[in-house]
Structure 1
Amino acid sequence: MKVTKAQAAANRAHVVETASQLFRERGFDGVGVADLMAAAGFTHGGFYKQFGSKADLMAEAMVCGIAQTGTLAEGVEASEFIRHYLSRAHRDSRATGCTVAALSGDAARQPDSVRVAFKDGVERLLALLSQKGLSSDPAEAAQARVRILDVLSHAVGAIVLSRACPDDSPLADEILAVCRDAILRSQTPPGTEKATTRKRKTV
């Protein structure tokens, strides 16, 4: 039976999404084409009908995964996003967690096409995270980008360090807690915390 263009496009999207999860879980070099296609429910031979090379799929999977990460920040407050991102649940969910945290180290060793896809994905993620406080003033917008880039780098680094520790290591949880609290404090406007403390004392 001949596959329609619509079905072929759906099959391709399914392979990309499956690859995105497997790459996050095992790394780029930890997943072979045959295993990947089997996981997606297709034969090995069908891979090269859809993709020019594994690197092409890696780049597309990167874009797919970072787009999924971006949806985590939609419709939630920044503090809620940080609490989720720097939680044990997110840390332990490699396959469905942040692509940036899962594949930063792997991407650095890959061809330029994959690294460019990674860079473009990070730019889109920064743009999405910046939209909530978007300012028409160029100077304010530039400062907002600096703050968001700092928070994202801090949060990603915390996940990477925590995952590198044994699962039952107290340090793994300590890294998340310390970085989560530090980021949340940095998001609190100056004077707000002290004012809140004084108000509670008078109640």
Structure 2
Amino acid sequence: MGTSQHQKAQSRAAIIVAASRLFRERGVEAVSVAQVMDAAGMTHGGFPRHFANKQELVNEALASAADEQQAGNATSSDGFETFADTYLTRQHRDHPESGCVFAALGGEISRAPAETRRVLSERIQRQIAAFGDDPDMRADALGRWSSLIGAMILARLVEPEELSDQIIAAARQFVGLPEQVKA
């Protein structure tokens, strides 16, 4: 790959990273292309060299965030416990920009164009497949994973913080972790 192609690829990757963070932090609709480009350290005018439109960027940024999360998920019982232990924390609750794309944007994406829903549906199906072929193990893992996502959405939604912590603690207990809410 030539230098200019390499630079273009690096710029595109920086745009995707910035968009992924901003979309999870503020929501897709609340973030403009200009804000993404600024966060990536580029000018708005350079956007068309990388993406046809904002929707293409949304699809790639959300797919990237989901792929990153799945790469960090282990599928064994111990792996799930480790994943859940870091998922159900104040840190994750307080920093959606670096957390689970499904908990950060699930409600918004459910109303997104079909292509965006398809992109994330594929990632969900990959994660389900990673849970294994055993129907009972798969159903258990899917139920526990869904509980994590739902708990994080509720924990971010409510006030006061004490209630948020109680939601996280209850979810931790439900999936078999110590109730103590970690920072």
Which of these residues, 168, 174, 177, is aligned with residue 182 of structure 1?
Answer: 174
1:18 corresponding residue in structure 2: 18
Deviation at 1:25, TM superposition (A): 0.3
* Distance (Å, rounded) in 1 between the aligned partners of 2:74 and 2:141: 15
Q: Matched residues in 2 for 1:72 and 1:177: separation? A: 22
Instruction: After TM superposition, give the deviation of residue 4 of structure 1 in Å.
Output: 1.2
Output aligned runs, 1:108-123, within 5 Å: 108-123=110-125
Counterpart Cα distance in 1 of 2:63 and 2:127: 10
Contact 1:62 1:121 in 2 (8 A): no
The amino acid across from 1:146 in the alignment is: A
Cα offset, 1:83, TM superposition: 1.4
| Superposition deviation, residue 127 in structure 1 | 3.3
| Contact persistence 2:33–2:44 (CA under 8 A) | yes
Structure 1 position 71, deviation (Å): 3.1
| Residues 10 and 74 of structure 1, relative CA distance in 2, 3 Å threshold | farther
Deviation at 1:143, TM superposition (A): 2.4
Q: Which residue of 2 aligns with 1:70?
A: 70
Is 1:32 the counterpart of 2:45? The answer is no
Please state how far the C-alpha of 1:152 moved relative to its aligned partner. Answer: 1.1
Q: Which runs of 5+ in 1 are unaligned?
A: 186-203
Letter of the structure 2 residue corresponding to residue 45 of structure 1: G
**d(CA) in 1 for partners of 2:118 and 2:53?**
16
> Partners in 2 of 1:71 and 1:120 — Cα distance?
15
Contact 2:74 2:80 in 1 (8 A): no
The AA in structure 2 aligned to 1:48 is P
The answer for the alignment partner of 2:151 in structure 1 is 158
Root mean square deviation of aligned Cα: 1.9
Tell me which residue corresponds to 1:173. Answer: 165
User: 2: distance between equivalents of 1:30 and 1:14?
Assistant: 19
TM-score, normalised to structure 1, is: 0.79
Identity of aligned residues (%): 34
1:46-105 CA-to-partner distances (Å, cap 9, x unmatched) read 111211111111111111101121233249632221111111111111110111110101
Deviations 1:118-147 (A, max 9, x none): 11121223334x2xxx4xxx5x2x222211
Structure 2 residue matching 1:109: 3-state secondary structure = coil
Unmatched segments (≥5 aa) in structure 2: 178-183
The structure that has the greater radius of gyration is 1
Counterpart of 1:116, as a letter, is R
Q: In the aligned structure 1, how far is the partner of 2:52 from the partner of 2:3?
A: 19
